[in-house]
């Protein structure tokens, strides 16, 4: 299996000068194309920190992250922005969408940043919204959508840029169980049908059950990594 993410001995220490916190502590991780991974662990175990480092949102204190053969740890923050735009899809717990733009515009926005042509953009917006089951909400603004619908638009937006993989930090934390199940179903379908790699963190057992690989973090260390 082709490796997409290769984290090598990643450590993140916050507050180095005062009371150091080892948020991530010597993590080695290989993630292959097409995986569907849940990152679990108690609160404060370092899930967000690890996802941010893998996603190029933050620098590790030591160690390296190699994405598709590129060492992103060595990049400047401006280079990272551009790298993220073209290689990584993000779904956050909340504040995913630009509130003043419609669903269509939110998805189009990232393709505009990539300078995708108009015709292609429009086709892709329609396809993606259909895949997440929101073609009728194309002209709705985030404020007019339910939390679950907003997260589905966020997933569509994450895929719009044709990334190498999608990172989702607690994407279902603010959703009721039905919407959470629905969102996971959509992500699993995109994983199955398009081979998109997903890495998501969660506390929700029902969400964990959908994953095909579960990585458990405790105190910044991987304590178990099981495939199913």
Task: Using CB under 8 A, list all residues that contact other proteins.
Answer: 48, 52, 55, 57-58, 77-78, 81-82, 84-86, 90, 92, 94-96, 98-101, 105, 108-110, 112-114, 157-158, 161
- Pairing outcome for strands 221-227 and 213-218: antiparallel
Q: Which is nearer to ligand ATP, 41 or 89 (CB)?
A: 41
| Residue 211, C-beta contacts closer than 8 angstroms, at least 6 positions apart | 36, 37, 38, 200, 228
Which positions from 2 through 41 interact with ligand ATP, judged by CB under 6 A? 14-15, 21, 23, 41
Q: Which one, of 91, 95, 121, lies nearest residue 108 by Cα?
A: 121
Rounded CA-CA distance 27/152 in Å is: 31
Provide the residue count of the chain. Answer: 228
Which of ligand ATP, Mg ion, other proteins, none does 105 bind, CB closer than 5 to 8 A by kind?
A: other proteins
Which of Mg ion, other proteins, ligand ATP, none does 152 bind, CB closer than 5 to 8 A by kind?
A: none
Q: Which is nearer to ligand ATP, 28 or 189 (CB)?
A: 28
| Residue 119, C-beta contacts closer than 8 angstroms, at least 6 positions apart | none
Structure tokens at 108: 């189009």
If binding is defined by CB under 6 A, does position 205 make contact with ligand ATP? no
Structure tokens at 7: 């984290």
If binding is defined by CB under 5 A, does position 48 make contact with Mg ion? yes
Radius of gyration from C-alpha coordinates of the chain: 17
Q: Could you tell me the smallest distance in angstroms from the CB atom of residue 46 to ligand ATP?
A: 4
> Buried b / exposed e across 148-166, counting CB within 10 Å, b at 16+?
bbbbbbbbbbbbbbebbbb
Q: Which is nearer to ligand ATP, 49 or 73 (CB)?
A: 49
Q: Could you tell me the smallest distance in angstroms from the CB atom of residue 168 to ligand ATP?
A: 13
User: Under the rule (CB under 6 A), what is the footprint of ligand ATP?
Assistant: 14-15, 21, 23, 41, 43-49
Could you list the residues that contact Mg ion (CB under 5 A)? 48
């Amino acid at each position: 299996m082709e490796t997409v993410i290769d984290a090598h001995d990643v450590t993140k220490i916050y507050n180095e000068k005062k009371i150091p916190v080892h948020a991530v502590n010597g993590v080695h991780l290989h993630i292959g194309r097409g995986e569907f991974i849940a990152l679990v662990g108690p609160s404060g175990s370092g899930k967000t920190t690890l996802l941010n480092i893998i996603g190029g949102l933050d620098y590790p204190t030591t160690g390296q992250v190699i994405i598709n053969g590129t060492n992103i740890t060595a990049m400047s923050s401006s280079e990272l922005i551009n790298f993220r735009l073209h290689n990584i899809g993000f779904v956050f717990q909340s504040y995913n969408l630009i509130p003043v733009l419609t669903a269509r515009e939110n998805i189009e926005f990232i393709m505009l940043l990539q300078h995708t042509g108009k015709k292609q953009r429009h086709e892709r917006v329609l396809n993606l919204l259909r895949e997440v089951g929101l073609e009728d909400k194309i002209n709705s603004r985030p404020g007019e959508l339910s939390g679950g619908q907003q997260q589905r638009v966020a997933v569509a937006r994450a895929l719009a840029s044709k990334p190498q993989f999608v990172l989702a930090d607690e994407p279902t934390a603010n959703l009721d169980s039905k919407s959470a199940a629905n969102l996971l179903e959509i992500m699993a379908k995109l994983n199955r049908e398009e081979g998109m790699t997903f890495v998501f963190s969660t506390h929700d057992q029902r969400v964990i059950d959908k994953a095909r690989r579960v990585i458990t973090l405790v105190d910044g260390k991987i304590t178990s990594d099981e495939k199913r």
